[in-house]
Amino acid sequence: MSDWVPTTCMRCAVGCGHMHRGADVGYGIDVARGDAAHPVNQGLACARGLRESKDPDGEWLTRPMVRSDGRLRQTTWDVAIASAIEGLREAHEADPDSVAVLGSGQQTNEAAYALGKLARGGFGTRHYDANTTLCMASAVTAYYQAFGSDAPPCTYGDIDEADRHVVWGANPAVAHPVMFRWIRQAADDEGVEIVVVDPVRSETAENAERHVAPDPGKDLALARAILARIVETDRVDTAFVEEYTDGFADLLASLPSAAEAAADAGVEMDAVDLLADALDQQALVYWGMGVNQHVQGTETARALIDLTLATGNLRPGGGPFSLTGQANSMGTRICSSKGTWPGQRPFEDPDHRRTVADVWDVPVDRLPDDTGPGPVGMLEDGPDAVWTVATNPVAGMPEADTARQALEDAFVVAQDAFHTETTAVADVVLPAATWGESEGTTTNMERTISRVRPAMEVPSGVRPDIDIIATIGNRLFPGLFGSTSPDPEAVFDEFTALTEGTVADCSGITYDRLEAEHAVRWPAPDADSSGSYRYYDDESWAFPTASGRAQFSTGRQEPLPEPAGEEYPLTLTTAREADGYNTGVRSRDGAAGPLVARIHPDTVAAHSERVVDDHIEIASRRGTVTARIDADEGVPTGMIWLPIHHPATNRLTLSDRDPQSKEPHFKQCAVKLASPEADLPPATAD
């Protein structure tokens, strides 16, 4: 029998420890289960994480491919690497910024660090980002602005200590099942409640004591209504605000009345009072894509943080807790040189730039001057070459038809474990190792780093991400990596050494320590320390801001970028499905299958003459798709709900972005319904 191998699930950012056992005959993982010794989940595991580890349904890539005569054809690794290098070199020699590199929250810390080193220190391109910007950038920006660091203060240990669990614009019952089980168990205690804020009656709302449904996109107005009500009823924690925060007077000067803001949010005052009362308790405020994926995502996330500051809910058992989606989004935030240099070193600070250049042994003037325009702006700039790693922008970008055209106009290298809509348009496809085949580490949403280990040998025809990155990097920029097959442990040590003395210090974490302790939360500046609740220590608070205080914000609700109107009278929103992570490529066997739209029965009835065999055509100003109708009373009238990771959905969505975080506005756009054309099948990946 094969040995059991301890590893970490890479489906979502909860970071559950798994035990995998490789098949004795043939290839693959024979058995997957939760790891009782892992301190994060202590043996718990969700069925989807186990299934997608052991038996994913995606179409595996097993050989490199190169486009010839308009078709992708299997080839050797030497030919594929040479073709990738030729296209990337040609673009780079014309202009470093004509090379675009897009990474992923599915990479290990080591692969993400190596890709950032190549993108920033090799190519020197400003057109480098990760698909994590499509989901977490607004929370990241809000944390920096409020606290001076992208470090969620809360940990999973706070869940049992909270009296109220306010889940805002998130659906952890679907997206983070193990974490939601902890929340649900905590709410079984007498007097502890879950309060959900979501326009849709989600699976999480179905399992909550209270549900508040604001108008779509009006979360900032609701947050301001709650704060105004707290102020009006004299429930501000004045001592905390005066001693540990800045900017509250400016916020008060900009604050609308509770009644005015509630009307703007589309809720009654009793809903505002319910949420204000919840903040009177020891409250955890969780939020997700319903907040972040908005042109005011940063301001809305800041407003939720403001609620915790004003009520003194910034201590163990309370606080702002953004729910990270992809498995290693947190890791890419601290190691990949995307928005900061490793360890959250400020990107434009000359001393930090010099430190990074010296460690990488590259000229400091090769490093780009700014972090770039984000993934959407990257493609809008029309790069000559695009290298995608473990991501699927053809399906995942807003205004997907425009994104697809930009990729079709460029030389594309697609590095992935599975066939995707992006590999289908690539010029070179490089098959990469995936879960159960990779060596390295990952970082979960509570800042905990743990090991990822292979339960089998990498199959013939497939290479680890880090080997592909180093091979291309050394061919283009000799000496950038010490080897074309870097030891992941050595790469991890290089990364952690670069974090020494920073706000995201991981220098006390080693593979040997992870072997002994299974998981360590940063900051961990020495071999004996491990991070706990952030910014708080023994009834005292300290923040890495210029003043040492947390910062309030003054954002107010602005009009939506594309409200419903006479021509397009309905509002489209998007969200995750249970099997819809990472464009669902591990969950679908080849084609994506029919698109399913959740629509309130009254909305369906109002458009009944347009329904053909339970199908309807949905059109925005950017595209048209056909979907099967799922009549669902949990969706408000006048709204259409579509799964964000179906490859047809983002043909409809907006590319308008939050100006601070560069995160797109996926959640609300105007649509109309029409009868499907007789010969038009339900929208699929094709």
> Residue 580 pLDDT > 80, yes or no?
no
- At residue 467 the predicted structure's pLDDT band, cuts being 50, 70 and 90, is very high
pLDDT in tens, 474-488: 999 999 999 999 999
Average pLDDT, the chain: 95
Cα distance from N-terminal residue to C-terminal residue, the chain: 42
Counting residues of the chain whose pLDDT is more than 90, the rounded percentage is: 91
Q: Identify the weakest region by mean pLDDT among 48-57, 100-109, 594-603, 656-665.
A: 48-57
615-619/624-631 β-pairing: antiparallel
Residue 502: what are its φ and ψ, rounded to 5°? Answer: -95, 175
Residue 589 has pLDDT above 80, yes or no: no
- Residue 376: what pLDDT? 97
Measured at the CA of 372, the angle between CA 663 and CA 150, to 5 degrees, comes to 60
The angle formed by the CA atoms of residues 238, 240 and 244, to the nearest 5 degrees, is 125
265 pLDDT exceeds 50? yes
Q: At residue 584, does pLDDT exceed 60?
A: yes
Q: Before 523, cis peptide (omega within 30)? A: yes
3-state secondary structure of 290: helix
Mean pLDDT, residues 430-434 taken together: 96
Cβ 158 vs Cβ 284: under 8 Å: yes
Residues 6+ apart with CB under 8 A from 29: 20, 21, 22, 23, 53, 54, 55, 436, 455, 456
Mean pLDDT, range 38-61, rounded to an integer: 92
Q: In this structure, what are the phi and psi dihedrals at residue 352, rounded to the nearest 5 degrees?
A: -70, -40
358: left (phi over 0), alpha (psi -120 to 50) or beta: alpha
**Side chain identity at 354, as an amino acid letter?**
R
| DSSP sequence for 483-546 | -SS--HHHHHHHHHHHTTTSTT--TT--HHHHHHHSEEESP--STT----STTBSSS-B--SSS
Least confident of 140-149, 364-373, 449-458, 589-598: 589-598
For 368-410, write each residue's pLDDT tens digit: 999 999 999 999 999 999 999 999 999 999 999 999 999 999 9
Residue 404 to residue 278: CA distance in whole angstroms = 45
Output the pLDDT for position 592: 80
Dist CA 618 CA 683 (whole Å): 10
Residue 105 has pLDDT above 60, yes or no: yes
d(CA 485, CA 471): 7
- Backbone phi, then psi, for 130, in 5-degree steps? -140, 160
d(CA 246, CA 27) in angstroms, rounded, equals 58
| Angle value at C-alpha 591, between 585 and 597, nearest 5 degrees | 90
What angle (nearest 5°) sits at the alpha carbon of residue 223, between those of residues 563 and 324?
Answer: 85
pLDDT at residue 30 tops 60: yes
Does 555 have pLDDT greater than 70?
yes
Write the pLDDT tens digit of every residue in 81-102: 999 999 999 999 999 999 999 9
Residue 37: other Cβ atoms inside 10 A? 11
* In contact, 522 and 150? CB cutoff 8 Å: no
Burial class (CB in 10 A: 0-12, 13-18, 19+), 73: exposed
Residue 377 CB neighbour total at 10 angstroms? 15
Task: Using DSSP, state whether 402 is helix, strand or coil.
Answer: helix
**pTM, two decimal places:** 0.96
**Measured torsion, CA atoms of residues 67, 68, 72, 77, in degrees rounded to the nearest 10:** -70
pLDDT score of 678 more than 60: no
Q: How confident is the model at residue 2 (pLDDT cuts 50, 70, 90)?
A: confident
pLDDT at 121 over 50: yes
Q: Phi/psi zone of residue 528: left (φ > 0), alpha (ψ -120 to 50 degrees), beta? A: alpha
Q: Is the pLDDT of residue 624 over 90?
A: yes
Residue in 388, 395, 394 with CA at minimum distance from that of residue 414:
388
Q: Indicate the DSSP class of residue 364.
A: G
Mean of the pLDDT values across residues 187-193?
A: 93
**In angstroms, what CA-CA distances link 462 with 36, 78, 585, 590?**
31, 13, 18, 19
Task: Average the pLDDT over each of 251-260, 382-391, 456-465, 544-553 and give the range with the smallest value.
Answer: 456-465
Q: What does each C-alpha distance from 321 to 109, 205, 304, 425, 559 come to in angstroms?
A: 22, 18, 10, 38, 26
Q: Which two tokens stand for residue 286?
A: 């969780």
Number of H helices, E strands in the chain: 23, 26
Q: Is the pLDDT of residue 538 over 90?
A: no
Report yes or no: 607 and 571 within 8 Å, Cβ to Cβ.
no
Give CA–CA dist 39/555, Å, rounded: 39
Cβ pair 665, 295 in contact under 8 A: yes
318 CB-near residues (< 8 Å, 6+ apart): 154, 158, 161, 162, 282, 283, 284, 308
